[in-house]
Amino acid sequence: MQKVFDNTQIGPMVWKMRVEVPRMVARAKAGQFVILRVNENGERVPMSIAGLDKENGLLTIIYQVVGKTSALMTTVPDGGEISDCVGPLGLPSHVDNWGTAVLVGGGIGIAPIYPIAQAYKEAGNKLHTIIGARSKDLLFYEDEHKAVADELHICTDDGSVGHHGFVSDILKQLLDSGEKIGMIMAIGPVIMMKVVANLTRSYEVPTWVSLNPLMIDGTGMCGGCRVSIGDETKFACVDGPDFDGHKVDFDLLTSRLGAYKEQERVAMKRFLENPGCKLAKAVETFKYPNEVK
Amino acid sequence: MTEQMPKKERMKIPRQTMPEQEPDVRNHNFKEVPLGLTEEQAVLEANRCIECKKAPCIPGCPVEVDIPGFIRLVMDRDYAAAARKIKETNSLPAVCGRVCPQEEQCEIVCTLHKKFKPVAIGYLERFVSDWERENNLVVLPEIAPPTGRKVACVGSGPAGLTVAGDLVKLGHAVTIFEALHKPGGVLVYGIPEFRLPKHIVQAECDFLAEMGVEFQNSTVVGKMDTIDELFEMGYDAVFIGTGAGLPNFMGIPGENLIGIYSANEYLTRSNLMRAYDFPNNDTPIIIGKNVAVLGGGNTAMDAVRTSLRLGADNAYIVYRRSEAEMPARAEEIHHAMDEGVQFHMLTTPIEFIGDDDNKVKAMECLRMDLGEPDASGRRRPVPIEGSNFIMEVDLVVVAIGNSSNPLIPQTTPGLDTNKWGNITVNDDTMLTSRKGVYAGGDIVTGGATVILAAGAGKKAARAIHKYLMEEVEK
C-alpha cells in the first residue's frame, strides 16, 4: 500500500497526485515511468513521472480522467492509499548537452517533459519549451516550465492564451529561425507526436518521443506494449519508453491504444452509475478535448 | 482393512481415477478440473505401493521426496504426517501435486509400472497436502536458531519459493523480491485457476511468511536495486529466479494487430488480473469467438482452455508438428480435447490479416510435412509448397516460448550469460560467475517446468547454506 497526498483537480478532467514512494523516488530518473493499481480489483496502469521530490520521497503524477481507473484515482482521499506503485520502469531519457534543445509537451504531456526539462537544463542545454493545450484552463505547470526553460512558448488551440494554434507551428518557427537545434523531444497525444516527427524529419533534427502503450507487468514479460520502430518490434516497457520519432509507427500505436474501447465504455458506465459518484456530472457535461496538434 | 492385504492382492487394486468436472460443464467455468481423490480412494491407491526396496521413485523426483515414506503414512491414515514428510524436501506439495509431470518423473520409474499402472504418486501428494490445509493441520516446521546471515531471492516463482523455504528453515533471514503485486510468479500469472487454484499458491506463500520469509512485492530488482546494491544493503547471498522472460513472437507480417496476444499477456490478464471476471475486475480481455493458439506446449494448452472458458465458439491449437512431438503433458492435451479444443496439426501461420480497425480477422497458413529429425531429436516440419489456406480467427495467442529477460544481466557486471541470454551456472551448485550469486529456474534453463525450477532451487539452497556457513563471516 502506498500513501497518496494532494490529490487535487488542476483543470477540467485533469488531476495531480503525489505518491509516497521514497526508495523509488531516490532511484528514478527523468523519462522513466511507474505502474500503479488503485485497489485489489484494479488494473495496472502505466503513468509518466511528472516530478520527483527526493527530499520528501514523493512522486508526482498528473493524470487526465479518460476512463474508469483514472476516475477511480480521483476518489483517493488525501492521506489515503493505493494498492501498489511499482517502478521506476523503462529506460531514463537520454540526456546530453546538444547546445540547444527543444521540448514539446501537449495536453497531459506537459507533465512528463518537466523532469526532462530539468535534466536537459542541468546538462547545460539552452532550452526552448513549447507547451500546448486545447484552451487556457487545460494548461498547467506554466510556472514550473518558465523557471527551467530559457524560453517558454505557450499555445492554445482556441487562442485563449499564448499562440493561437498548435505546438507544431511554434516548432516550425524555431526550426526556420536558423538557430541550430541539436535535439527535440516531444510528449503528448499520439497525433501530436506524429505531427512533430513528420515536421522535423525534413529538417533532419533528431526527434525523440515517449510512447504510452497499454502495459501489464512493465518488465518485458507480457509483450502487450509492443510498438513498431522502423522494421522492428520493440517492447516499450524495457526498450523504451523513448524512441526515435522518425521511426515510430504512430498509426499502429493509436490503434493498439484503442483495443479495449468497448470494455472501457462498459467499465466507465458502471462506475458512473454508482450512486454518489461526484464525477458523473462533470463527465456528462465535459467534452473531451480534441487531441492537440 | 486394506492395510493388511498381502502384496499380491495389493497389486491387483486398480489405479484410482481422479474424479473430474465433466468436460461440457468445466469448459464454461474456471473452477479446478480434477476434484481430488476421496479419502478411501487415497488409501486404496497408497496400498498399491509394494514398498519395494529400491524405491526408484525417490531419485525420479527432482526434489527427492521420500515417496514410499509418505505413502506408508497414507496407508496408516495419518495424512497430515504424510504431508509433513513431503514438506521435509518439497516446499510446494499442493502445487507440485497438481502441476508436476509425474508421468515422466517419479511414476515412470515406479517398480509397479513394469507390469501394471504406476502408483498415482501425484494424486496422493495432492490429497495429503489438501487434507492438511483443509483440516487446518498445517504446523510450522522446526526453524533453526538465527544464523545472522541474510539472503535475497529475486523472483517468487517455484525456484525462489523453494530456496526461501529451505534457507529460512536453516535459520537464515530471507527476503523475496517480486516484481508483480502478488507473489507466486508463473504459479499466479501463468497457470490458470482451473489447473492450480490461486488460493493454494497464496497458502503456500503464507506458510513461508509464517516461517519468517519476508515478501517485498512490487519491487523490480535491476530497476529499483541492482544485485550489487543488494549486497551493499547487507545481503550475504543472492538467488536469481526471475523466470522466463520476454515472450517470443512468430516474426511474421501483421503480428502487432489488435487481437494478437502473447500467451504471457493473455494468461496474465485472465489469471493474475482476473479479467475473466470483467467488469468486476477492471482489467479487460478480448473475447474471441474463433481463437487460434499457436504452439504445442503446456502454456498453449492453458491458453486454449482459457479461451473456451471465456466464451470461444471455436478454440484451435495450431501446431507445426504432429501430436507425437507436442511438448505438452499428455494429460493436458487430453483435457483440451475432451473440452472441445480443435487441433490443427502440421500447420503454421505465415501472415495475420487485419480488418479496417486493425483487428485480426484471419491468418494465412501453410500445411507442413515432417522431414528428418532436427537438433531436438524431433522430426523437422517442412512447409508444403502451395498448401496455403486461410483460417478465420478473431483472436490469436502466440505460445511459442520466451527469451531471457535482460533486466538483471544488464545491470550486474560480471554475471555471465550464454548466447540466448540465460544465466550460466555450475550445474551442481547453481553458482553463477559472481561470488555469492546463485540462479535457477527458467532464467537458467529457458522454459521448463515448475518442479525442475523447484529442483534447481533445492540445489541452490544447499550450496547457499554451505557458502553462508563456511565463507561468510559473522
Query: pLDDT digits over B42-54, tens only?
Result: 999 999 999 999 9
What is residue B106's three-state secondary structure? coil
- Return the number of other C-beta atoms located less than 10 Å from residue B109's C-beta: 17
Measure A156 CA to nearest chain B CA, in Å. Answer: 31
Chain B CA closest to residue A233? B256
Chain A CA closest to residue B264? A222
Measure B260 CA to nearest chain A CA, in Å. Answer: 9
- How many whole angstroms separate alpha carbon A110 and alpha carbon A120? 15
Residue ranges and CATH numbers for the domains of chain A are 2-91+261-285 (2.40.30.10), 100-210 (3.40.50.80)
Q: Is A91 on the interface with B (CB under 8 A)?
A: no
Per the DSSP assignment, residues forming a β-bridge with A59 are A19, A52
Contact map slice: A 166-185 vs B, CB within 8 A: none
What local confidence, expressed as pLDDT, does residue A102 receive? 97
Q: Is A88 on the interface with B (CB under 8 A)?
A: yes
List, for residues A33-58, the tens digit of each pLDDT value: 999 999 999 999 999 999 999 999 99
Measure B124 CA to nearest chain A CA, in Å. Answer: 34
Q: Is A5 on the interface with B (CB under 8 A)?
A: no
Contact residues, chain B to chain A, C-beta under 8 Å: 179-181, 189, 217-220, 223-225, 244-247, 249, 255-256, 258-259, 261-262, 264-265, 268-269, 272-274, 278-284, 286, 357-358, 405-407
List, for residues B399-429, the tens digit of each pLDDT value: 999 988 888 998 999 999 999 899 999 999 9
Q: Which residues of B243-261 are buried (b: 16+ CB within 10 A; e: fewer)?
A: bbbbbbbbeeebbbbbbbb
How many CA atoms are closer than 13 Å to the CA of B257, on its beta-carbon side? Answer: 27
- Global ipTM: 0.93
Q: Tabulate helix, strand, coil % of chain B (nearest 5).
A: 35, 15, 45
Q: Scan for cell 534453463, then name that residue.
A: B445
pLDDT at A290 over 60: no
Q: Is B228 left (phi over 0), alpha (psi -120 to 50) or beta?
A: alpha
What local confidence, expressed as pLDDT, does residue B99 receive? 87
- Closest listed residue to residue B290, CA positions, set B308, B273, B266, B274: B308
- Return the number of other C-beta atoms located less than 10 Å from residue A236's C-beta: 26
| Greater pLDDT, B350 or B379 | B350
- How many whole angstroms separate alpha carbon A227 and alpha carbon A194? 14
What local confidence, expressed as pLDDT, does residue A285 receive? 56
pLDDT at A286 over 90: no
- Closest listed residue to residue B85, CA positions, set B139, B25, B161, B156: B139
Query: Which of A2, A37, A84, A221 is the best residue to mutate to test the B interface, defined by the most B CB atoms within 10 Å of its own CB?
Result: A221
What local confidence, expressed as pLDDT, does residue A283 receive? 63
What local confidence, expressed as pLDDT, does residue B364 receive? 97
Measured in degrees and rounded to the nearest 5, phi and psi for residue B210 equal -65, -30
What local confidence, expressed as pLDDT, does residue A231 receive? 86
- Measured between beta carbons, the chain B residues lying within 8 angstroms of A232 are none
List, for residues A11-37, the tens digit of each pLDDT value: 888 999 999 999 999 999 999 999 999
Name the residue facing B264 among A85, A222, A259 (closest C-beta): A222
Contacts of B233 (CB under 8 A, 6+ apart): B225
Give me the mean pLDDT over the A228-255 stretch.
95
What local confidence, expressed as pLDDT, does residue B251 receive? 93
Q: Scan for cell 506494449, then name that residue.
A: A225
- How many whole angstroms separate alpha carbon A265 and alpha carbon B306? 24
Contacts of B1 (CB under 8 A, 6+ apart): none
Query: Averaging pLDDT over each range in A69-78, B313-322, B371-380, which range is the top one?
Result: B313-322
What local confidence, expressed as pLDDT, does residue A291 receive? 39
What is residue B355's three-state secondary structure? coil
| Greater pLDDT, A281 or B275 | B275
What local confidence, expressed as pLDDT, does residue B373 receive? 87
- Closest listed residue to residue A79, CA positions, set A9, A163, A13, A19: A19
Residue type, B25: V
pLDDT > 90 fraction of chain A, expressed in percent and rounded: 85
Q: Is A42 on the interface with B (CB under 8 A)?
A: yes
What local confidence, expressed as pLDDT, does residue B397 receive? 98
- Return the number of other C-beta atoms located less than 10 Å from residue A6's C-beta: 13
- How many whole angstroms separate alpha carbon B441 and alpha carbon B460? 10
Measured CA distances, B185 to A233, B77, B241 (Å): 25, 34, 10
pLDDT > 90 fraction of chain B, expressed in percent and rounded: 84
- How many whole angstroms separate alpha carbon B90 and alpha carbon B110? 19
| Greater pLDDT, B245 or B179 | B179
Name the residue facing B273 among A86, A216, A226 (closest C-beta): A216
List, for residues A178-207, the tens digit of each pLDDT value: 899 999 999 999 999 999 999 999 999 999
Measure B249 CA to nearest chain A CA, in Å. Answer: 9
What local confidence, expressed as pLDDT, does residue A281 receive? 62
Q: Which of B2-16, B131-145, B309-323 has the lowest mean pLDDT?
A: B2-16
Give me the mean pLDDT over the B319-333 stretch.
92
Determine whether the interchain pair A44/B181 forms a contact, defined as Cβ–Cβ distance below 8 Å. Answer: yes
Q: Is A26 on the interface with B (CB under 8 A)?
A: no
Name the residue facing B268 among A87, A222, A228 (closest C-beta): A222
Query: Is residue B98 within a helix (H) or strand (E), and if so which, with residue range?
Result: helix B93-99
Per-residue pLDDT band at B377 (split at 50, 70, 90) = confident
Determine whether the interchain pair B274/A41 forms a contact, defined as Cβ–Cβ distance below 8 Å. Answer: yes
What local confidence, expressed as pLDDT, does residue B91 receive? 83
What local confidence, expressed as pLDDT, does residue B446 receive? 86
